Structure 1
Amino acid sequence: MTIAVCSGSFDPVTYGHLDIINRGARVFDKVIVAVLINSKKNSLFTVEERVELLRQATADIDNVEVDSFDGLLIDYMKKRKAQVIIRGLRAVSDFEYEMQVASINKKLDENIETFFMMTSNQYSYLSSSIVKEVASYKASVSDLVPPVVEEALLAKLGR
């Protein structure tokens, strides 16, 4: 069984994230969506809220599990007996950074592979930061995030 991990901050999860998660779930036997606990990052949603939003957004994908972790992704991969890291790429600018991360991960554990997926064209501009900014101005984000995430954003930022 091939287990893949799709990690990130997911603050909040967007349709772009879900595009990569859905497509990864068609390629691998199991996909663990792992929310990184990063105390240095000033997140809008708590780790627990992000995990819950992801669980609701991926509830219809049978081979997806949602979890959280802190520390090195490679250590988490070993703990979960995962072999593949899934990374979404929106633009060429993402590739440079992701290549560096993939290279250091390969150095840390040569048995772990990184699987890059180009995001679908309709999500190439989409990021959690953009979603939060648009929502902060009370504009609709219904075409950017699942309804449960839009509701959480409205609750968090005020209607």
Structure 2
Amino acid sequence: MKILYPGTFDPLTNGHIDLIERAEKLFGNIVVAVLENTTKNPTFNLQKRISQIKNSLSYLNNVQVISYSGLTVNCAKDLKANLILRGLRAMSDFEYELQIAHTNKSLNKDIETIFLSTNTNFSFLSSSLVKEVAKFGGEINHMVPPCVERDLKEYFK
């Protein structure tokens, strides 16, 4: 079984990694799909985000990292993945993610969304929070993998 984990991953956090590790154990093959979203202005370009993810997950055997644009359900269909993974940190995430899951289901009835709650240790993490802390010189080594920490420190020099 193949599961798709889509996101912008700008940047990848330890919360993302936790979900990927757990999904690999549960579902076997996981495709991390990095969204090329032209409406957002990411901190890191698409290739840098893919490189960060590949570097951070090199110890996992059943993880593939790709990029995509457009609708997530179309990406899942193209990859023959019938599951989409989404992480939940708090109740506020659930409302947004449920809306997205229902929209995806309306677009393709054969694709299911699976929610995994974030490990309590990472429930406070978001990419925007990590960038904010890094911007003001705060310690982020407990929030992101080493390569992302280096890149953020360099970016906010």
User: TM-score scaled to structure 2, two decimals?
Assistant: 0.98
Residue of structure 1 in register with 2:140 after alignment: 141
CA–CA distance in structure 1, aligned partners of residues 139 and 100 of structure 2: 34
Say if 2:22 is the partner of 1:23. Answer: yes
Alpha-carbon separation, structure 2, partners of 1:41 and 1:71: 13
How far off its partner does 1:155 sit?
A: 1.3
Deviation at 1:41, TM superposition (A): 0.6
For 1:142 and 1:96, how far apart are their aligned partners in 2?
30
Percent identity of equivalent pairs = 43
What is the alpha-carbon distance in structure 2 between the residues aligned to residue 91 and residue 84 of structure 1? 21
2:131 alignment partner in structure 1: 132
Aligned pair count reads 157
Deviations 1:94-114 (A, max 9, x none): 001111111111111111111
Question: Offset of 1:25 from its aligned partner?
Answer: 0.5
**Residue 37 of structure 2 aligns with which residue?**
38
1:10-159 aligned within 5 A = 10-158=9-157
Which SS does the other structure have where 1:43 is aligned? coil
Q: Kindly provide the amino acid, as one letter, of the partner of residue 78 in structure 2.
A: K
Supply the AA of the counterpart residue of 1:129.
Answer: S
- Please tell me the residue identity of whatever aligns with 1:82: A
Partner letter of residue 124 of structure 1?
A: S
Q: Deviations over 1:120-159 (max 9, x none)?
A: 001111000010000001111000001111011111111x
Q: Kindly provide the amino acid, as one letter, of the partner of residue 53 in structure 1.
A: Q
Partner Cα separation in structure 1 for residue 7 and residue 141 of structure 2:
22
Deviation at 1:46?
Answer: 0.2
Which residues of structure 1 form unaligned runs of 5+? none
Q: Which amino acid aligns with 1:88?
A: G
**What secondary structure sits across from 2:110 in the alignment?**
coil
SS of 1:32's equivalent in the other structure is strand
**Aligned mates of 2:54, 2:110 — CA distance in 1:** 29
Amino acid at match of 1:134: V
Moved over 2 A (4+): none
Q: TM-score, normalised by structure 1?
A: 0.97
Letter in 2 for 1:85: I
Provide structure 2 residue ranges, at least 5 long, that are not aligned to the other structure: none
SS in 1 for 2:42: coil
